[in-house]
Amino acid sequence: MTRRDTPLLHRDDPARAALTGHVKVTREDWLNHARDALVTGGAGEVKILGLARQMGVSRSSFYGYFRDRSDLLDALLTEWEARNSAQIIAHCRLPAASITEGCCNFFRCFVDDAKFDRGLDFAVREWARRDRGLRLRVDAADTARLAAVEAMFLAHGYAPADADARARILYFMQLGYHALEVFEPMPLRLSRVGSYIMGFTGMPPEPFALSAFIAEVEAMGAP
């Protein structure tokens, strides 16, 4: 698991207005700290008293936003679905003139941490190993994500069986890449994108779409 690099509390973020009056933390502050605890320590570390101590507030302030711990955990899962699954689905549905551009749209989710929180994704999957109800929820999310990737291939003329297989290769490769915590310098990783697209699609990458994607990632300055 990886620790989040973004500020947890609004009051620590100069881009946000300072909290005033008797309000010391917001609902999002509780969620941010709970997310950090989930990612770094697992679901068992998401504890109301522990979170309150970290933020320096009374435990009672929690109940102004959540009914109980289960409500907090469910809010984390709702955020996971709304953030990670929704991003993948939305990017697969973006207009694309070629399958190369479609694949690059898919990759855009994973080169920008603001779009896909891989630490959260794998923390939820680890949690699901011990919770059958959550396992079903994760399976449903994977089904929806795969359907979006498959639809992307179908939109570019692939036969249904081919689209199904290529969607699985692309999606499960990408998740496996993060699960294994593979680290590559970004220039090396980008040098392989064209070959990856050839492997995923069975077609030579379309130069303009590939160049545009590489230039965009380089402009982000990712390590």
What is the per-residue pLDDT for 125? 95
Number of H helices, E strands in the chain: 11, 0
Q: Are residues 135 and 166 in the same domain?
A: yes
Q: Summarize pLDDT for 61-80 with one digit per residue, the tens.
A: 899 999 999 999 999 999 99
**C-alpha radius of gyration, the chain, whole number:** 20
> Which of the pair, 130 or 3, is modelled with greater confidence?
130
**pLDDT above 80 for 8:** no
Domain span at residue 49 reads 10-64
CATH number assigned to the domain comprising residue 206: 1.10.357
Answer whether residue 4 is part of any domain. Answer: no
**Same domain (yes/no): 109, 203:** yes
Structural domains of the chain, count = 2
Same domain, residue pair 125 and 149: yes
- Quote the tokens at residue 187: 């220039």
Instruction: Kindly tell me if the per-residue pLDDT of 114 is higher than 80.
Output: yes
**Residue 149, domain member (yes or no):** yes
Q: What is the mean pLDDT of residues 193-221?
A: 94
Nearest to 12 by CA among 3, 2, 28, 22: 28
Of 52, 50, 49, 53, the closest CA to residue 41 belongs to 50
The model carries a pTM of: 0.85
Where is the domain boundary, 40, 64, 88? 64
Same domain, 22 and 112: no
Same domain (yes/no): 84, 112: yes
Q: Are residues 53 and 86 in the same domain?
A: no
Does 186 fall in a domain? yes
Establish if 70 belongs to a structural domain. no
Q: What's the pLDDT score for residue 223?
A: 61
Are 166 and 188 in the same domain?
A: yes
